[in-house]
Amino acid sequence: MAINLEQPKKFKALVAQAHSVASEVFRPNSRHYDQEEHAYPKQLDMLAAVIEGMEAGDPTANAGAAGVRRDESAPKKGKGEVKNGSNLSTVLSIMELCWGDVGLLLSMPRQGLGNSAIASVANDEQLARFGHMWAAMAITEPETGSDSASIRTTARLDGDEYVLNGEKIYVTSGSRADAVVVWATLDRSLGRAAIKSFIVEKGTPGFELARLEEKLGIRASDTAAFTLTDVRVPKENLLGDPEIKPEGGFAGVMQTFDNTRPLVAGMAVGVARAALERTRELLAEAGIEVDYDKPIIAQSAAAAAFIEAEADYEAAYLLTLRAAWMADNTKPNSLEASMAKAKAGRSAVEIALKCVALAGSVGYGEGELLEKWARDAKILDIFEGTQQIQLLIVARRLLGKTSQELK
């Protein structure tokens, strides 16, 4: 099946709307909330409904974020026909919003990574119950970083409830969200097959906010740490299949990443584009011309470096669209999601730092947002799986190796 990576015409209004939010709300408030970490951006409350309206209508839209759901019962499209749906529309809008400010995007109500988990793997009853909530995602633990399969937080079934115990760190929007999707193991001896995700609502006894982190970037977004001490949740709060399946048992949880990794890649693409556009303006003001009709070797060093950065950006952009498009067309996209996340995360950091260097002292000072974008970009290469983890996943997929065969 062919894929056309031009921006679909039906999404042009959506993209324009997202860009308007980014330029009129996010950019003007970007520096303020960077300097006032942990202050909640109240301007975002009125925007929540606008962002929800940007998403294409589908059964997961009420969860606040697009989800990768493989509906095999849906009518099959004719040969050569493709669908541009909620995954692609969400990625495109995220790119625009992060052109404005990635920290503010992460602070948007009901647009948390936990919402993507709910949208991806929740059943219809759970979508109805939790779709209205703002949900954060709690994966990382003090002794469990990128290896999600080694999670130590436990979940024990006791009658009609699961009892959760453990500690979670680096929970984006953790203190502001209505609920947190907590990853825990039903049996540590069974490894990744026993990892499940549970919806824990705020105010649940034993679920305590330990602290808020001070950060390098995305300072408009809160990052929380939690302790779970005999936290009881109804067994219906387990997302997906409660059965432990040694073969493919981790797939339901990992399906969340097939959705959220392209979204994070889209965030990185948006930040990179912001840095490139502003740097080009600064180069023009300095009298440096970027001429696309001339070979790089015939241009100034600054122009050559800028063109190379743009090429890097284009590759990340196209990989990100491909991963989202595959999800919309019910194609397995785990490989492509990791490729997009790896490329976009790394490129955003390299591009932002290169733009700071090209702008000289102007890029290093707080008079421009370039230095802020360089700080914000780094987290996009880390969370939802580090650069190293993404490359490992890509290698396993390409070589046909299991996680045990290639570590």
Catalytic sites, residue numbers: 384
List, as one string, the DSSP characters of 80-115.
T-----HHHHHHHHHHHHHHH-HHHHHTSTT-SHHH
Among residues 296, 320, 278, the alpha carbon closest in space to that of 93 is found at 320
* Tokens standing for residue 256: 């969340």
Per DSSP, what are the bridge partners of residue 156?
163
Where residue 208 falls (left for φ over 0; alpha for ψ -120 to 50; beta otherwise) is beta
330 sits in the region (left: phi over 0; alpha: psi -120 to 50; else beta) called: left
- Concatenated DSSP letters for 297-353? GGS-HHHHHHHHHHHHHHHHHHHHHHHHHHHHTT---HHHHHHHHHHHHHHHHHHHH
Query: How far apart, in Å, are the Cα atoms of 46 and each of 22, 31, 49, 313?
Result: 14, 20, 7, 32
